[in-house]
Structures are given as structure tokens and as C-alpha cells.
Structure 1
Amino acid sequence: MLEKKETNDCQDKSYQLLVKQLEALIEDEQDPIANLSNSSALLNQFLDRINWVGFYLLRDNQLILGPFQGLPACVRIEVGKGVCGTAVKEEQTQRIADVHEFPGHIACDAASRSEIVIPLFKDKQVIGVLDIDSPELDRFNELDQIYLEKFGEILTTYLPTNI
């Protein structure tokens, strides 16, 4: 049990450093695409065992592909479709242990096996999502969710309502 606590403490400290790095990286930049691009690169560098990380931006009731790191991805996703569209429709994080068991999962990369999607809010409205895929089953845990939601909250303070 002690080993698990030490692992969580280490992961917690790593995430705290990530959040500080995000703030330092974007605090003096006004351009939303630059901030989203650097944010996806930072997460790609920080997170292990992932194969895609990026953003989808909400426009006209569709999610449109934004800055990302990974293989080419689906360009448009309707609200309510797949994990990303469900996160927008339900306005809550989707942490999926096995994407192949998620009804209506959109497989942009057949290697993806688990996924976490964080809705991004500005002025209490969803403006997009942070999407992270892993080739490993059940890759994302509660601590990942807590800090990735915090990451999204900080990031959106530097984004306009209409990206």
C-alpha cells in the first residue's frame, strides 16, 4: 500500500510542476492557436503511454480539429457522437478504460484503447475539448482526471470565448 501512495505522491508533484510549466508557457501569449499548440506539445512531452493529445474546438454544434500531437485525426465530430462529442453534450469529463466498449466510439487511430476527454469551459459555456488517447487499456486514473481538468481550467483563462 505504501508503494501506491509514493507513486501517487510522485505523480501529484509531477502534475503540479506541469501546471506551473503551463502557466509560464502561456501567460504572456495572447494568440489562442499558439497557446493550444504549446499546450498539446507540453502534454505530449509530459504524459507517458499516450499516442495522441490535442484539442477539438466547438463551432456550429460541431467539434473541429485544433492543434494536436500524434497521427492525423478526424477533422469534424458532431456533438453527442463518440467520446469527444459525449463530453460536450454531457458537459463532463469522459474517462474511458476501453474505448472499444464505448457505444459509438469514433476510431481515428485503431491503436487507441483508452481515452480521456476534458470539456473546456469559458464563461460557463463549452468551447472545446482536450482529448488524450492511449494504446493501453485503463491508462487514465482519477489523479490524471483531476489535474487534466485543472490544466484545462488554467488554459481557458488564456483563451477567448470564440476561438
Structure 2
Amino acid sequence: MFTTSSLSGTKPEQYAELAEQARALLHGERDRIANAANLSALIYHALPDLNWAGFYFFDGTELVVGPFQGLPACVRIPLDKGVCGAAASTRTTQRIDDVHAFPGHIACDSASNSELVVPLVHQGALVGVLDLDSPVHARFDVMDQEGLEEIARLFMESLG
């Protein structure tokens, strides 16, 4: 059915290829859980140096873990805690080089050292966040941020 392959080329080319694979996975499917599960697996297996990739969904009060790849995760995250809470409450992407220096960081996995969290917003309403953790300090740069913001946009678009 679908197999992941190593991404090739420059980082922008790799993210273009990842976006193409994401579009193929999302094509014709509107189910939030199915799409989040497939994207989590795609991202986790396609990008190097990740130890967690997945989604948290906003339930009207807090973020609740959704589909992901990696070790078991924190189940609920208040909007005033951690990198995910910051992304959700500010509706801005958080790219953190050293999570241990981030005020209020929630250590779901002590091996995580850097994090990238993209808010998922539809018509001004918070849907959740796309969260990536890495054991490598400063793993994520602006190209990663832009590439993953595009993946998040494709996810939101798939929901209709």
C-alpha cells in the first residue's frame, strides 16, 4: 500500500517530498484520527533524530493526546504548561532548542532535548497541536519549522 523511503536532496527538497507523501496519505480521507495516525507515522519514520511525533487535540479545556509515534506520552496538557501549551495558547509555532531551559516544560520523556510544536487552528478556533520531540539539542531549524507548518496545513485542509 504505502511505504516510506529515505528523503533525498536538500532540506527544502526533502520537505517538498514529505508534503507530497502527506498529500497522498490524506487524499480523500476526512477522519481526524486516521489522518493524524498516518501523518504521525510518516513524520516519525521519514525525519531523522526524532523520539516523538504526534498530535494533541483541544477538548475545550486542555490538550489531550491523540495519535503519535514514540514512547507513551503525557495524556493531558493544560494550556498554561509546557511547549505544547504555549503553542496552543499563543497560536504560534514554538521552536525550542533546549526544552530544559523552557519555563514550565513538561518532561514526558527525559530523553527529549528540543521540541517543535505547530498549532492547529481552523477559522480562529484551536483544534490542537502537532508536536515533535528530539533527543538532539537544537534539532529543529527554520526550514524544519516551515516544512512542518506545511504538513500541519495539509492536515487541517484534509478535515474540510
TM, length-normalised to structure 2: 0.92
RMSD over aligned Cα, in angstroms?
1.0
Q: Which amino acid aligns with 2:80?
A: G
Distance 2:129 2:65 in 1: 10
Residue matched to 1:158:
158
Distance 2:60 2:121 in 1: 16
Distance 2:75 2:159 in 1: 21
Distance 2:27 2:124 in 1: 21
TM-superposition CA deviations, 1:11-68 (whole Å, max 9, x none): 1111001001101111111221111000000001111001000000001220000000
Distance 1:47 1:24 in 2: 17
Residue matched to 1:118:
118
Written as runs of structure 1 = structure 2, the 5 A alignment for 1:1-163 is 10-159=10-159
Q: Is 1:51–1:135's contact at 8 Å kept on the other side of the alignment?
A: yes
Larger displacement relative to structure 2 (60-69 or 121-130): 121-130
TM-superposition CA deviations, 1:93-127 (whole Å, max 9, x none): 00000000000000000000000000011122220
Distance 2:159 2:122 in 1: 8
Q: Which amino acid aligns with 1:88?
A: A
Q: Which amino acid aligns with 1:101?
A: A
Distance 1:86 1:29 in 2: 30
Distance 1:154 1:42 in 2: 13
TM, length-normalised to structure 1: 0.90
Distance 2:33 2:54 in 1: 12
Instruction: Report the secondary structure of 1:72's partner residue.
Output: coil
Instruction: Report the secondary structure of 2:10's partner residue.
Output: helix
| Unmatched segments (≥5 aa) in structure 2 | 1-8
Distance 2:29 2:149 in 1: 21
Q: Is 1:63–1:77's contact at 8 Å kept on the other side of the alignment?
A: yes
Moved over 3 A (4+): none
| Count of residue pairs brought into register by the alignment | 152
Distance 1:47 1:124 in 2: 29
